């Protein structure tokens, strides 16, 4: 069974329904969803990873970067639209306290400022959990910022629709499973990894970038995240175009292992937008087996 960042009606749930309508298990937090994968409670879980307006979902980046490794096997892109939903009979001018997910709050900030400048916005679990909370007549919250489906599901009515500051916002979700062979190379793939920089060294980030640029591998995302081991210690969460079975990507990974304190491979999987990178052909199975053996000997030379 698959898990997802829930409850039912979240944007993550909608993203899940684009590729599976089998029964799935909701989790109240991204951490719980990914832990359930690590513990074998679910086979894999879908979680949000980044938004075109707000950037990275830090809890997802950090939970994937540390702890027992997981493998991203699929990505989903979903356009997101937000409504302000309240218990039936509520008027816009009655709304004083609003509950939602922090990313939703950030994406509707301008609208809220213009139309409900006095309202207090609280960032909680998820947009659907906010709708569920607001559906309780004794709730201290008057309205939730959520998807139309969440409002419908929890018996709320839209007080305002399409309230996002950017109508074209897209959120990207990833399906993380226990460590597994990456899905086969499709020719339009993406590889996600985390590179831990060696302690303060001038040019360390440039060296990381060079592993990709010198091999013609384009990056589609790079974010620095604190390693939580002390102020100034960072790792880089990176999406590169291509598959681990593309020689240039595999060589870039090897290069990273030579210059970084640690490298966590988080998976190679088909790109949701199907864009094919300008990159050389993939390895044959034999070439890949040889490259992998070499790679393993570099990472664990004592074995």
Ligand X SMILES: O=C(O)C(=O)Cc1ccccc1
Interface residues with ligand X (CB under 6 A) are: 5, 10-12, 48, 51, 80, 101, 103-104, 126-128, 171
Least distance to ligand X, CB of residue 42, Å: 17
CB of 76 to ligand X, least distance (A): 11
Q: Which of 134, 137, 129 is nearest to 159 (CA)?
A: 134
Which token pair is 30? 């991204």
Residue 169 or 249 with smaller CB distance to ligand X: 169
Instruction: Please say which residue, 125 or 277, places its beta carbon nearer to ligand X.
Output: 125
CA 17 to chain centre: 17
Task: Supply the minimum distance, in Å, between the C-beta of residue 91 and ligand X.
Answer: 25
Q: Which is nearer to ligand X, 10 or 268 (CB)?
A: 10
Closer residue to ligand X (CB): 7 or 270: 7
> Are the CB atoms for 237 and 197 separated by under 8 Å?
no
Strands 157-160 and 83-86: antiparallel
CB-nearer residue toward ligand X: 82 or 295: 82
Which burial class, exposed, middle or buried, applies to 260 when counting CB atoms under 10 A from its CB (0-12, 13-18, 19+)?
buried
Beta bridge partners of 234: 226
Question: Which has the closest alpha carbon to 129: 91, 158, 156?
Answer: 156
Provide the minimum distance between the beta carbon of 148 and ligand X in the complex, in angstroms, as a whole number: 12
The Cα 298–Cα 303 span in angstroms is 10
CB 3 within 8 Å of CB 37? yes
Which is closer to ligand X, CB of 71 or CB of 127? 127
**Helix H or strand E segment including 74:** strand 71-79
Residue 83 to residues 102, 113, 160, 232, Cα–Cα distance (Å): 15, 15, 6, 39
Smallest distance from ligand X to CB 5, Å: 5
**Based on CB atoms, which residue is closest to ligand X, 143 or 195?**
143
The least CB distance from residue 19 to ligand X, in Å, is 15
Specify whether the backbone of 230 is left (phi greater than 0), alpha (psi in -120 to 50) or beta.
left
**Shortest distance in whole angstroms from residue 284 CB to ligand X:** 40
């Amino acid at each position: 069974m698959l898990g997802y960042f829930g409850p039912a009606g979240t944007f993550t749930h909608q993203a899940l329904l684009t590729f599976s309508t089998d029964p799935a298990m909701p989790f109240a937090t991204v951490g719980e969803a990914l832990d359930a994968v690590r513990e074998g409670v679910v086979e894999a879980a879908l979680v949000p990873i980044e938004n075109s307006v707000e950037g990275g979902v830090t809890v997802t980046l950090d939970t994937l970067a540390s702890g027992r490794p997981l493998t991203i096997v699929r990505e989903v892109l979903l356009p997101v639209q937000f409504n302000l939903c309240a218990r039936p009979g509520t008027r816009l001018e009655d709304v004083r306290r609003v509950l939602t997910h922090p990313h939703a709050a950030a994406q509707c900030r301008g609208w809220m400022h213009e139309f409900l400048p006095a309202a207090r916005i609280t960032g909680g679990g998820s947009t659907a959990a906010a709708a569920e909370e607001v559906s309780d007549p004794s709730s201290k919250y008057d309205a939730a910022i959520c998807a139309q489906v969440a409002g419908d599901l929890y018996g709320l009515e839209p007080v305002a629709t399409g309230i996002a500051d950017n109508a074209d916002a897209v959120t990207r979700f990833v399906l993380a499973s226990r460590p597994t062979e990456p899905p086969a190379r499709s020719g339009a793939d993406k590889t996600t990894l985390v590179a831990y920089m060696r302690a303060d060294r001038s040019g360390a980030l440039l060296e990381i970038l060079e592993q990709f640029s010198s091999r013609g591998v384009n990056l589609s995302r790079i974010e620095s995240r604190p390693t939580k081991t002390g102020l100034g210690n960072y790792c880089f969460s990176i999406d590169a175009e291509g598959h681990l079975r593309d020689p240039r990507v595999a060589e870039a990974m090897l290069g990273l292992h030579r210059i970084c304190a640690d490298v966590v491979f988080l998976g190679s999987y088909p790109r949701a937008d199907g864009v094919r990178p300008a990159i050389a052909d993939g390895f044959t199975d034999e070439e890949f087996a040889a490259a992998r053996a070499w790679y393993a000997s570099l990472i664990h030379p004592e074995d």
